[in-house]
Amino acid sequence: MCVNTTDPGFLVLLQDRYAGFVTGSEHAEIEFDVDLVSPGFADPDAAVRVTHRLGRWSLQRGDFRAEWDPASRRGWIRQTANPYSIDAVLRIVHSLVLARQGGFLLHSASAIRNGKAFLFAGVSGAGKTTISRLAPPDATLLTDEISYVRKEEAGYVAFGTPFTGELAKLGENVSAPIAALYLLAKGPENRIESVSPGEAVRSLLANVLFFAEDEVMVQSEFHSAFEFVSRVPVSRLTFVPDARVWELIG
């Protein structure tokens, strides 16, 4: 993804925020021009809306407006000079791109161990940041907040993301095949339990980041969740805040 800005200060801000994920490649699949505006241009309390009309995606929230045309692969973002607005736009656009390919962004921490990726899903407070903090040195953290799940021919692959949670630490820009998805729960002991396929699908869908008000995309996302559950083991991981939980993983 290529982001164009004429503001040197904003460019430095982006380079710092996405360090490790910035390259000099000129072959971006998506290109955005950022139009920086003065504060107060829009309703700061307006909720996010993502709509599809005449082949173009319109993204808006109180702090930004954006459009993206998948056909031309170009778009624009109008926002103030802050990192949070463009972060939200990038998450939304990535969720749309992934959805078209059978993948998704997932509210989950993820890490690579022994060449395999493990996802730890849960809402705020479920323990994504905690389990990321407890990761042993041989685990490579992909994210403590939002996992990037791509469907490839051989299966599902998790990629590192610069989208951080409470840990405020960027993931590593690497990837690995997904070996398991764990649904996080805190409890008195560390244990892994099986869940029914129905519960797996419900929990997965509850944690998928999806913003689009678009029936075709919603249906696609729904079926992608079933496909994922049919190919990736999903279990409940109950843990105490203790590094020994990682003895169960990998």
Query: Vertex 65, ends 59 and 70: CA angle to 5°?
Result: 45
d(CA 223, CA 94): 18
Binding flag, residue 226, another protein (CB under 8 A): yes
Give the CA radius of gyration of the chain: 18
> Segment contacting another protein (CB under 8 A): 4-12, 159-167, 208-216, 237-245?
208-216
d(CA 60, CA 66): 6
Token digits of residue 104: 């998704």
In the complex, the smallest distance separating the C-beta of residue 215 from another protein, rounded to whole angstroms, is 3
In the complex, the smallest distance separating the C-beta of residue 56 from another protein, rounded to whole angstroms, is 18
d(CA 172, CA 148): 12
> Segment contacting another protein (CB under 8 A): 39-47, 101-109, 122-130, 209-217?
209-217
Residues contacting 65, CB < 8 A, separation 6+: 42, 59, 77, 78, 79
In the complex, the smallest distance separating the C-beta of residue 205 from another protein, rounded to whole angstroms, is 6
Eight-state DSSP code of residue 242: S
Binding flag, residue 55, another protein (CB under 8 A): no
Q: Give whichever of 113 and 151 is closer to another protein, judged by the CB atom.
A: 151
Q: Give whichever of 22 and 97 is closer to another protein, judged by the CB atom.
A: 97
Q: Give whichever of 210 and 239 is closer to another protein, judged by the CB atom.
A: 210
Binding flag, residue 216, another protein (CB under 8 A): yes
- Select from 24, 137, 188, 198 the one that contacts another protein (CB under 8 A): 198
Binding flag, residue 197, another protein (CB under 8 A): yes
Beta strand segments in 89-164, E: 104-113, 116-121, 140-143, 146-152, 155-159
Name which of residues 29 to 48 contact another protein (CB under 8 A): none
d(CA 95, CA 137): 30
Q: Across the strands, what pairs with 140?
A: 112
Binding flag, residue 223, another protein (CB under 8 A): yes
In the complex, the smallest distance separating the C-beta of residue 206 from another protein, rounded to whole angstroms, is 8
Q: Give whichever of 190 and 220 is closer to another protein, judged by the CB atom.
A: 220
Q: Could you tell me where the DSSP H helices lie in the chain?
A: 8-17, 83-100, 128-133, 197-207, 215-231
Q: Give whichever of 153 and 215 is closer to another protein, judged by the CB atom.
A: 215
- Select from 86, 176, 183, 201 the one that contacts another protein (CB under 8 A): 201
Residues contacting 115, CB < 8 A, separation 6+: 176, 177
Binding flag, residue 202, another protein (CB under 8 A): yes
In the block, residue with structure tokens 């164009």? 4
- Interaction site with another protein (CB under 8 A): 196-198, 201-202, 205-206, 210, 213, 215-216, 218-223, 226, 229
